[in-house]
Amino acid sequence: MGLLMAALVRTAGAASVSVVDLNEKRLAFAESFGADAAVTGADRLGRAPGFEVVIDATGAVAAIEDGLGRVRRGGTFLQFGVADPARAASFSPYRVYHHEIDIIGSMAVHHSFQPAIDVLAAGLGGVPVDSLVSDVYGTGRKIHIAPQKG
């Protein structure tokens, strides 16, 4: 989901896209759709002046805390990854206030699936959907996704 989010952000017009992942195959995919940086550790991206938008697709508290610290003044942090409901992240409310950082939550199941399917089915932005499939289980039949009419 994080790689698809990164690919769609690129197709939506992001000036640059950086991806952090521990899996080399996922980093290679990120590079294939044009990520400017694909690294195994956020420390390799640097901090100053910060990112306009940071999207957490992991749900890992350490990544969330780190990501919030990488948002520049006036930027946005999008929480997309599913975090453990029993965990809490620490951040500076003063920094959020003083730097006017927007924090947004996104639960993908609310009105998101059909628009996402429509974008992928239409081939918008050239997101290489077939390369997102790592395994096929069951009958091995492929499912054709057609855009919703009307």
Q: Kindly list the domain boundaries of the chain, sorted by start residue.
A: 2-132
Enter the pTM of the model.
Answer: 0.80
Q: What is the pLDDT along the chain (150 residues), one digit of tens a residue?
A: 888 888 888 878 899 999 999 999 889 988 988 899 999 999 999 877 899 999 999 999 999 999 999 999 999 999 999 999 999 999 999 999 999 999 999 886 667 677 777 777 777 656 666 766 667 776 666 655 555 555
Question: The domain at 2-132 falls in which architecture?
Answer: 3-Layer(aba) Sandwich (3.40)
* Residue 138 CA: distances (Å) to CA of 51, 110, 130, 133, 134: 42, 28, 18, 14, 14
